[in-house]
Amino acid sequence: MTLPLKKIIHCDCDCFYASIEMRDNPSLRGRPLAVGGRPDQRGVVATCNYEARHFGVRSAMPMSQAVRRCPGLIILPPSMEKYRTASRQILAIYRDYTDLVEPLSLDEAFLDVSRATQHHGSATLIAQDIRARIAATVGITASAGVAPNKFLAKIASDWNKPDGLHVVLPEQVAGFVAALPVSRLFGVGKVTAAKLHSMGIHECRDLLPWSLPDLLRHFGKLGNSLYQLCRGIDRRDVHASSERKSVSVEETYVRDLPDLDTCLAELPPLLDALTQRTARAGAGEQIHKLYVKIRFADFKVTTAECVGHALDAGVYRQLLETAFQRRRMPVRLLGVGIRLEDTIAEQQLGLF
């Protein structure tokens, strides 16, 4: 059965936190700027402008490393309430066109405009109008991707950044996806990408000859996703009622971590990344539980958690020790996360 074509827009504001700061202080424009924690307190970069990216600064990078790469870097602490105010303005603009809006974070969202009537139902014109309204109302730029599904729209929104628009028409899907690096596929991290490359698979076109059973044998459940996405297939709907229940960070290691001390040594960078994601999601005030996840070398998984309302490195160390003692064997994956209160539908905008 052929599914009806959808018109999906993915909107993503350009270096959101930094753009808000430059909007409010024009003297910052043209100068390398990062928003995040202090370099002398093991802070990380929440976001940075394009002038900073020119020096190799990027999100989730330790701020101390960012300063080494860019000695003239201007560092500002996050102003979350200011960012939430801008986010609410942007969300209101989206909802003028469709009720099917799925926020992913404070600065990005999916929109299903398949039934929209504005601009004669043209998703491209709607995306152009949204970007113009964000610029006029909020004072920052946004990029957008238009495509028949969420996967392609997300990829397309990054195509012409900053302040860009890219459209993937239904008849263009096959050619567009074929040339994509496999590292751009959902679920493909560094370890999986390295495995694919070792098998001679670098672009999606290299995946097409592989059968679904073969991909499942080599990659488990991920094999089904690889089979679908390399063909540009994504049947996920835009869920307007989507509410994030947790925020987490995971790392799969090329070499198993042999003991508890090695695992504990890997904890600080994971917590730095979790802190950045929590801030980006605007979830700091909704933390209900803290948890640690371990996948051991035998692929057995265990999770340890406790009630907590703030990120606490000492608590995470205790949770990690508790979880490790359950099997006391090498570890292939570590994860840290938070679980959120149920009463966050209005404020919490999720994280992709």
User: Which residues are known to be catalytic?
Assistant: 108
Establish whether 107 is an annotated binding residue. Answer: yes
CB within 8 Å of 37: residues ≥ 6 apart: 43, 44, 46, 63, 77, 275
* Under 8 Å between Cβ of 114 and 253: no
Cα distance between residue 64 and residue 44, in whole Å: 8
CB within 8 Å of 203: residues ≥ 6 apart: 178, 179, 180, 181, 182
Nearest to residue 144, comparing CAs of 136, 155, 133, 135? 155
Inter-CA distances, 48 with 37, 87, 272, 278, Å: 12, 18, 16, 17
What are 83's two structure tokens?
């960012």
Establish whether 206 is an annotated binding residue. Answer: no
Binding-site residue set for Mg(2+): 12, 107
Binding-site residue set: 12, 107
